[in-house]
Chain A
Amino acid sequence: MSIEVNGVNKRFGDFVALDDVNVSLPTGQLTALLGPSGGGKSTLLRIIAGLESADTGTVTIEGREATHLPPQKRDVGFVFQHYAVFKHLTVAENVAFGLRIRKRPKAEVAAKVEELLRLVHLSQFAGRKPAQLSGGQRQRMALARALAVEPSVLLLDEPFGALDAKVRKELRDWLRRLHDEVRVTTVFVTHDQEEAMEVADEIVVINEGRVEQVGTPDQLYDAPANDFVMGFLGEVTSLNGILLRPHDVHLSRTPQLAGAAEGTVSRLVRVGFEVRLSVLTDDGDDVTVLLTRSHARELGLEPGAKVWVTAAAGAMAVPAMASVATG
């Protein structure tokens, strides 16, 4: 294991940011810390980096006790949400910073900087100031800067959070490819479940200072530990006391399956290839159902239509309020 976090607690005044967190992150993998804003995931990352100190608990990086080491001795690279570029230095000087601090020979620094700028596709901007780069370019530069010192662990705090949707998506794919190329243990924080599912090998879901679940994207999606994880990873709707995905609701115009709830279509919205329905059941549930456009047309659905809804065969569902029962 590359990073071991044991029994970490952190408070800011009365606010509990982390509550007895234990995580171990494997070497060479791309791990996402996923959770809602204010859930403690950034705090955990900053504690790993040494930018914040834990009240109690220990952090071990590559087998080395790091709890009380200052950030510059932890051998980690850190990438900030707002890039934290050195404004007064050129792109090349930014990337060279860590190497110059380590007093590496000039020729070695120059060669390394050139190699990294090629890796992040910024070679032609080497002599520019960061102010002349776009947000995406700045973040790639910040990544090259962090990689320059060949850290054993790369930590990224909401790396794409300040970018617009299109650039975000590009950089996300690019980060995945870069990781496959460089293979440094990477941990990134995100509140975007799509980003985490798409990029990460493993996801740690953090909410209200606690780890809710750890697993691969598939494990989390198919077997969420509780209703929070299920709700956070995708849309859910509740039907007969269970939570399930709107596309896992079976809908018919006649009572076909045992236990199906009777209701009426109260709203119908067409978005591209899908149709979203709100079905008000006679038991009082407001169920969201997702159908393909052709399926909806075949059933002849209109607002006010009488329908029967139930969980489809093979639907993944968890009992509603599971977290209240366990927590």
Chain B
Amino acid sequence: MLATLLRQVPYFTEEDVAAFVPLWNKQVQVKRNDFLIREGQVEQHLYFVLSGAFRLYYPTPQEDICVGFAYPNTLITAFPSLVTQTPSTYCIQALKKSELLAISRADFYALQEERPVFGRFWRHELEKALIGKMEREIDLQLLDPQQRLDRLLARSPHIFQLVPLKYIASYLRMTPETLSRIRKY
């Protein structure tokens, strides 16, 4: 599944794919509600979601603030912790029984040195992720909950099929009641 997707990246040769795929050598299974990363752990892996769904959130005493979701074909990691190698402030929790493949940070960084095309690949992924974060930054400034919902649906039309409503409400900074009401229109 990973190999099929990687072959679609236009600048990867068959050799690149063959060098990359074996490094994803850790298979992970997570039960519903279990954690991929908890607060305080240091992230050592980049994960590829094979099946299932995850939420990425920032825990506070009052509530968990959802900042992102991952589903099949997404890469996920506790990014600040992966980069700085300090304890994560974020948690990644499975929303249902999920399977992932993982590549270690060390292997991935070494491969980028060895084959510059993976540096380019990683830059592209980071660029897309940054654009996504900037979109969300705008979302959060919009006062009208309907506008925030519309923008999310334009970006991720499948989201309601994949993620329970209460987490989407948290992601959009509104109560589940508000989300449920505006969704009707």
Asked if A and B bind, the verdict is no
